[in-house]
Structure 1
């Protein structure tokens, strides 16, 4: 059901991409909501309410649609809204199911290519019938290609974020800042980039992408190198992470620690 809902929403986004217009601003950081966010959200929420009427839903624009029980669906109906608003074709639809706060199902659909990535806990990660195995885990001689994400609440002058990004830019071959974090997760799960670093990541889109990566063999650590639990509950300070295959993790953690002791404690 989640795959079908994401693909139906994606078809709507693809068909109406050129018609997007801003409905309102969101927060003080320049983020916006478009009519396409709302239309895509209607498609996904309708499917979830039909098939799982007793489950809790947290959606990017609609917020919390509360219900009793341990099951929570997370919906990002248009990850990459700012890209769409300026005509950049880099966006996705994300849906996750969490049980007791931990993801057990993750779906990411990219409307532009028509590809769908999906994962279920303990059953691997897949894209259009191909099982994903993530990056090779060895850092290229020219340096790794990394994705970076930070939450909407992180200010432009945040010292930790600036130190982390600076350290990554200095030592990595490329650092991708996509304005669509789910696309970074699909690339990591598919093995086309080497790692992902996040600072106070958003809770709604994080579990779907993180489950894809985890089921493809990617490991997670805190910025300080400790154990990391993927989830969406709790403060965003608990969603600062380093993600890579095991062989790559030590060198990536070294890059992060180079940012400064203060940044590494995030």
Structure 2
């Protein structure tokens, strides 16, 4: 597929939109890949924020014009760390450098994500990993894919045999959230086979959708780090809820994505 910008009119199908969104995230990923290499040193929070913003801007300069041209009427979520429900209508929920701090530290776990949300429901998503060239996509009702291969969650039915993962939503979490994260990790260490903890959330959710790990949970959270993975996992056959097993929305205080065979056990563990 040639990576050229094509105009998509309002009547275009969501499948066409997804194909063009995939081109957009790949183009933005190329801009970030060119900036990747040595560790970026910083001595203050101000220096860190400037370095993060420089990466965001490099990707957004390639991404935003393309997505705006694809869907001119869709509004744009300006704050990638924001949570909660959106007003009705169409929105682009984008993280131009998901795992940005990893990029600065020359670590490979980072991506570019773009999700179209319609009336608070994710409709399509594209997640591109520039260092591997992989692109994960999902379209409501049409499944989840890694490039051209269909994704399916694992068939594991025993939490004691499972690899599970969690993440933190923000660097400066409230103390109550931090303590809840810590206690949940302890409980999972008692019940699961292996517990992984790292950022960003999206990369763990890609692994749940691909059947590589069996569950992911997080307390609090931003739309941009949960919506892409939520759609991918759901379309790959997984279950999405909050940590207590109730239906999840962007306004929920917790998040759980799991293979169906371990979802009930994971809820029980996280509810202790």
Distance 1:138 1:69, change over 3 A: closer
User: What residue is the counterpart of 1:262 in the other structure?
Assistant: none
C-alpha distance in 2 between matches for 1:61 and 1:220? 21
Question: What pairs with 1:210-229 in structure 2 (closer than 5 Å)?
Answer: 210-226=230-246, 228-229=247-248
Q: Of residues 111, 125, 130 in structure 2, which corresponds to 1:106?
A: 125
Tell me, yes or no, if structure 1 residue 144 matches structure 2 residue 176: no
Q: Give the drift of 1:179.
A: 1.4
Tell me, yes or no, if structure 1 residue 180 matches structure 2 residue 200: yes
**C-alpha contact 2:153 2:233 (8 A) present in aligned 1:** yes
Q: Give the drift of 1:192.
A: 0.3
C-alpha distance in 2 between matches for 1:212 and 1:41? 23
- Any idea what the Cα deviations from partners look like across 1:114-136, whole Å, max 9, x if unmatched? 10000011110011111111111
Question: Structure 2 unaligned runs (5+)?
Answer: 1-19
TM-score by length of 1: 0.83
- Any idea what the Cα deviations from partners look like across 1:91-149, whole Å, max 9, x if unmatched? 011110101111011111111111000001111001111111111132375x3111212
C-alpha distance in 2 between matches for 1:2 and 1:129? 15
Question: What pairs with 1:118-157 in structure 2 (closer than 5 Å)?
Answer: 118-139=137-158, 143-152=161-170, 154-155=173-174
User: What residue is the counterpart of 1:253 in the other structure?
Assistant: 267
**C-alpha contact 1:22 1:35 (8 A) present in aligned 2:** no
C-alpha distance in 1 between matches for 2:238 and 2:186? 24
Size of the alignment, in residue pairs? Answer: 245
**C-alpha contact 2:239 2:257 (8 A) present in aligned 1:** yes
Structure with higher helix content: 2
User: What residue is the counterpart of 2:11 in the other structure?
Assistant: none
User: What residue is the counterpart of 1:170 in the other structure?
Assistant: 190
Q: Of residues 194, 208, 215 in structure 2, which corresponds to 1:195?
A: 215
Question: Structure 1 unaligned runs (5+)?
Answer: 259-266
Tell me, yes or no, if structure 1 residue 12 matches structure 2 residue 23: no
